[in-house]
Structure 1
Amino acid sequence: MTSNSDKPASSQKPTFTPEQIEALYFDTARQGEIELLTEFIRAGMDINHQNHEGHTALILASYHNHTQAVQLLLDHGADPNILDNKGATALTGVAFKGYIPIAELLIKAGADVNAENNLKRTALMFAILFGRKDMIKLLLQSGANPHHEDGEGTTPIKLAESQGDIELIQLLKQQN
């Protein structure tokens, strides 16, 4: 009588717990590993599955600046408007990081440029806080509201005024 441990290692199939599979899926997105991410999609992984922080593969790939992974996920139906546990979308993360190509992909896929996080802050507000002028221009061109008030009554214009950026203040005030 032989046991499974007597079989050569090459004939034993590894088994993974659902938690391990989930962790690998999210690590794959975080690292932008296209081939493995494609295999997860082919195997039927829920493209919009959220981890314990509410992150999706799209949020993680976007935040870590993996344009090809973002495109792959969007092509397979990833929802750019899913909120994480803090109310942030994929666009929120790229707005403060300044990842223009990814922001363009997300917006083209229907990302809400005026989505609010749990503090009612928008991607535009984060772009202003982190001085991402090209991102600010893209968001404004895409319909971001420069008059939106967060939970503290602050607007994008007020944020720009607090930073003393005259050019940015004028840009924001030119918007309807």
Structure 2
Amino acid sequence: MSNINKYFKRACRFIENNQIDRLIKEIKKYPKLKSYFYKKSGMSLIHEAHFSSIECVLALLENGVPIDLPDDTGSTVLIDSSSVGDLKLAKELIEFKPNINHKNNSGETAFSFACARDEFEMAKFLYEHGAEINTVDNGGGTPLDWAICYASPEFRTWLKSIGGIRKSTHEEWAYPPPNMSIDDD
């Protein structure tokens, strides 16, 4: 195992245990960790921290970890927070000026994930902060195409009212979608 992998794993333990002071000391001692990508997990420290605590994410960002560092799928922490509806984290991340329209390897953005996951408040927040609403992913779909399949009628109507366009021709699905109930979280 290379030394950098060893330091990365140790930093991950600090993240898991929310030992922020030790984490920051580790990245100051080994600055390459700030942008290091661990191939076995497909993640960087900022992505590992996303699954631990907002405090860890913010501490890493405040200490020079790049906001738009992608994981192995090309997703940034903003995309990840959008895909799980973590509006609290997204609001914190915006302060660090991320590329709000960053596309992952599949051409998906934070906004398109919000639409695909029926995260209406997240989508409105991203839109208010400059998210493009008509990006086209690698499959040819737009955020409205995703919303047509997965979002509430109110969400769909809002997207159309702000200029959302469709590229696909599939029919609108009933709400909730076939394999999802309203109670699903």
Q: So what's the TM-score if we normalise by structure 2?
A: 0.77
Change (3 A) 1:158 1:76: same
Specify the alignment match of 1:59 in structure 2.
Answer: 47
Q: Is the 8 A contact 1:29 1:58 kept in 2?
A: no
Specify the alignment match of 2:15 in structure 1.
Answer: 29
Aligned residues: 160
Change (3 A) 1:18 1:65: closer
| SS of match in other structure, 1:77 | coil
Counterparts of 1:18 and 1:164, CA distance in 2: 43
Change (3 A) 1:119 1:142: same
- Is 1:85 paired with 2:72? yes
| SS of match in other structure, 2:31 | coil
Change (3 A) 1:97 1:31: farther
| SS of match in other structure, 2:81 | helix
Q: Is the 8 A contact 1:61 1:67 kept in 2?
A: yes
Specify the alignment match of 2:174 in structure 1.
Answer: none
Alignment match of 2:104 (pick from 109, 117, 126): 117
Change (3 A) 1:157 1:61: same
Specify the alignment match of 2:166 in structure 1.
Answer: none
Q: Structure 2 matches for 1:15-164, cutoff 5 A? A: 17-46=3-32, 47-52=34-39, 53-62=41-50, 64-163=51-150
> How far does residue 148 in structure 1 lie from its aligned partner after superposition?
0.8
Counterparts of 1:95 and 1:138, CA distance in 2: 10
